Amino acid sequence: MAWAESSRGAFDRWADEIGDESFRFATVEKYYNKAIAFTPPDQESRRANATPSYDPAPLGKTGPLAITYPAYAHSWSTWLLVALQAIGVRNTDTFLTGNLNGSAWQVNTINHTTGARASADRAYLRPYLQRRNLAVFNGTLAERIIFDGHKVAQGVQVTTGNSSYILRAKREVILSGGSFQSSQLLQVSGVGPAAVLQEHGIPVIADRLGVGLNMNDQLFFGIAHRVDLPTDSTLAANVALDVELFNTNATGRLTSPGGEISGFEKIPAELRANFSASTSKMPTLKRVFHLSAALASFPSDWPEMGYLTLPNFIGNGTAPTPNDGYNYASILATLMAPTSIGNVTISSSRMSDPPVINPNWLTTQSDIEVSIAMFKRLRQAWAVPALRNGLNTPEEYYPGPSVQTDAQIEAFIRSNMVPLYHGSATNKMGKKGDELAVVGSHGRVFGVEHLRVVDSSAFPFLPPGPGPQAVTYMLAEKIADQVKNGQ
């Protein structure tokens, strides 16, 4: 639900990689704002020391998607903001200007009036269901894209219940199945690596090596303490009151999705001093699936680490939450400059069979070394006096003081890392001569006609930020203009 505009340097890299100047930040910013309707928060419903700073002037006010600050802020979040500033992650007011490095209160896709989540379904679909030129096929699975003998997309074969039929396209087919299903549907339709298609008996329409490759994702892990202030560990006992406040006037704890504070930074010099040469200055190498480079290849304003806070105990996703009457809080670290590249491959010629997803997390030395530095940075945040004075006990609850050496830290990270499910770039955008590029700058699939991909799989890479949803909306608005203009 987090909404933020990615870094200016990320869009410079995007424009350079695909050879299209219209992807510079100065241009894409208008598409971010075209999508949104920003409403200022009701400050009287938030804590006095939870007042966000922002300039409303450039923000979209008339778009279909509602964004705002939640009507509730946990007291724990205010302390994290203090801790981040104490370790050098300065307050940057907002993440709505193309600058990420720093810390700020997080804007979310929330309807200010109802407190409920704002989504593409509510913003772009529900208001227009009565249009005569819109047909929605519920419970329907896209089976394959139909091409004629000239490799022109003619429509999509679909199945509803026990009935299979073809939806014909007069102009073009636009695929928006996400990073997993878009790649899967292309492959079962004959667009993908020829060797993979032939293995499953699929006629090759276009041999595109990059379909399903180049998968980018972000992972996180955290450190938890017992704290001396109310968090969700005990506040959840008042859920009946929470529900009443939410349903009555869209206030209270249920209006907050968590993650109320975000922070971003480059790993500080003292922690990167021991990085290996392959991490800090690795040249571009031809890998099996992707042209990958380590930290030196990222733009100067691209953060390497993200901070996230949740007012509760966060383990590895499966560890039981303590139920002992204490209040727990976690500070989480997110890998913002991952160099490990995954892939998505079909398991059969049928869409009803799930694809094989190989995320390949922590398979580069850069990702390992940066993650270890991130863990140490979390401990530095927990050690600032403002937080130490507010702890119930000084000892770290999770993972605890037994985790000290780099080897122990790496082992902890590997057993506790949790994906953010931000899988992207499996049908990467690029120049026509790039053998791994699947689509061009207008989303058109190389090697065929009248077929586009418009979703996060079409990113050339996963841009930094709290989440890719804002980039996805921006890209969709941008390509929608191109479609309407016949481009």
- Round to whole Å and give the CA distance between 36 and 59: 8
In this structure, the number of other CB atoms found within 10 A of the CB of residue 475 comes to: 22
- Let me know if 422 is a catalytic residue: yes
Backbone angles phi, psi at 127, to 5 degrees: -70, -10
Query: Which tokens hold the place of 318?
Result: 């499966």
Angle, helices 25-35 vs 469-484, to 10°: value is 90
| Active-site entry in 200, 422, 442, 450 | 422
> Quick one: tokens of 38?
């920003």
Q: Cα 379–381–386 angle (5° rounding)?
A: 125
Q: Which residues are catalytic?
A: 422
